[in-house]
Amino acid sequence: MEEAVAHVGSLTALDMVKMTGAEHAFRSAVRLGVKVTVVRRSEPEKGHNVLARSAISPVFGAFSMEYLVDMTTNVPDGTADEAVTDMRAREAARSSELIAQGHLVRLWRPPLKPGEWRTFGLFAAADDEELESVLASMPLRVWRTDEVTPLSPHPNDPVPWPAQGPPEFLTAFTRTVPEGTPRSEVDDAIAGEARRARELAAQGHLLRLWALPPGSGPDALGLWRAGDAAEMQAIMESLPLYPLMRVEITPLTEHPSDPARAGS
């Protein structure tokens, strides 16, 4: 058995394993830029959720960052239908390669206006430079504009990740704590939020949760599964922090090249 050990401030990755689970600990350690050393242990210590084999998640791979990319394609006027069809085929083929390499994690369709060609993508890369190289390698990039949002670890991100697939929703959370709210009330809500997040993950509703860059707008981004919009709204209202934040819900539909679909 192998185990990742890394220091994050006064905590080691093993301490993080005890608190949040092995996969999340490793991802967090790597994303924070700390050195991760793989050490061999003949037997796992009792009660420790240790990291198997190379200590690298088969889903996340060896990449240290995740990104949400909003991709909008504008086909030049006068482009022949055959050229568009060929471009779609080459894009699908390249997407399959990026999935195999671990760079392309998920694809979705957001709500679309008439005639709009737009896709949300979840990508993994070592850093911003590698992500740009990945995006530039995609055939549609010549017709496409990309809006990139870097994603950071969130303490309530489920470990392990629940099975993903439709129907899914993205949520953007923005804290709106009223001035004068007692700190104890906020702390209680945060603690209750963590407990509720674990419950919703166990129920298969909360799939992923990320922190967003400070000052960029929303504070966190969530990926959820619910039967319909009404159930999704009820889930949001069940969150202890719901009265203290603004929530924007975006319904997602399947993308033909989504890795989750390919693996189903």
Note whether 52 and 104 are same-domain residues: no
Note whether 130 and 175 are same-domain residues: no
Question: Domain residues for 41?
Answer: 1-58
> What value does the mean pLDDT take over residues 74-92?
95
Share of the chain above pLDDT 90, in %: 67
Q: Which of 155-164, 171-180, 231-240 has the lowest mean pLDDT?
A: 155-164
* Residue ending a domain, choose from 151, 186, 214: 151
For residue 93, tell me if it sits in a domain: yes
Q: What's the mean per-residue pLDDT of the chain?
A: 80
**What's residue 64's pLDDT?**
81
Tokens of residue 8, six digits: 């994050």
* Residue ending a domain, choose from 121, 151, 181: 151
For residue 221, tell me if it sits in a domain: yes
Cβ–Cβ < 8 Å for 61, 27: no
**What's residue 63's pLDDT?**
65
Note whether 238 and 159 are same-domain residues: yes
* Residue ending a domain, choose from 102, 134, 151: 151
> What value does the mean pLDDT take over residues 221-241?
97
> What value does the mean pLDDT take over residues 16-38?
39
Kindly tell me if the per-residue pLDDT of 143 is higher than 60. yes
> Is the sign of the CA dihedral 222, 223, 227, 229 positive or negative?
positive
263 confidence band (pLDDT: 50, 70, 90): low
Note whether 77 and 105 are same-domain residues: yes
For residue 259, tell me if it sits in a domain: no
DSSP letter (8 states) at residue 57: -
**Structural domains counted in the chain:** 3
CA atoms of 216 and 232, how far apart (whole Å):
25
**What's residue 1's pLDDT?**
34
| Residue whose pair of structure tokens reads 């470990």 in the numeric block | 159
Note whether 211 and 180 are same-domain residues: yes
* Closest alpha carbon to 71 in 100, 85, 91: 91
**CATH code, domain with 229:** 3.30.70.1060
Query: What's the longest Cα–Cα distance across the chain?
Result: 66
**What's residue 29's pLDDT?**
42
For residue 175, tell me if it sits in a domain: yes
Q: Which amino acid is at 1?
A: M
* Closest alpha carbon to 71 in 121, 11, 137, 18: 121
Write phi, then psi, for 199 (nearest 5 degrees): -65, -45
Note whether 16 and 30 are same-domain residues: yes
Strand partners, 121: 69, 107
27 confidence band (pLDDT: 50, 70, 90): very low
> Is the sign of the CA dihedral 98, 103, 108, 110 positive or negative?
negative
DSSP run (H or E) holding 25: helix 22-31
DSSP letter (8 states) at residue 228: S
CA atoms of 191 and 245, how far apart (whole Å):
15
For residue 263, tell me if it sits in a domain: no
Kindly tell me if the per-residue pLDDT of 199 is higher than 60. yes
pTM to 2 decimal places: 0.76
For residue 143, tell me if it sits in a domain: yes
**What's residue 25's pLDDT?**
41
* Closest alpha carbon to 193 in 240, 245, 247: 240
pLDDT digits (tens, 9 = 90+) for 33-45: 433 333 333 333 3
C-alpha of 206 from chain center: 11
Note whether 175 and 137 are same-domain residues: no
**What's residue 260's pLDDT?**
86
Note whether 248 and 161 are same-domain residues: yes
230 confidence band (pLDDT: 50, 70, 90): very high
CA atoms of 189 and 185, how far apart (whole Å):
6
**What's residue 62's pLDDT?**
58
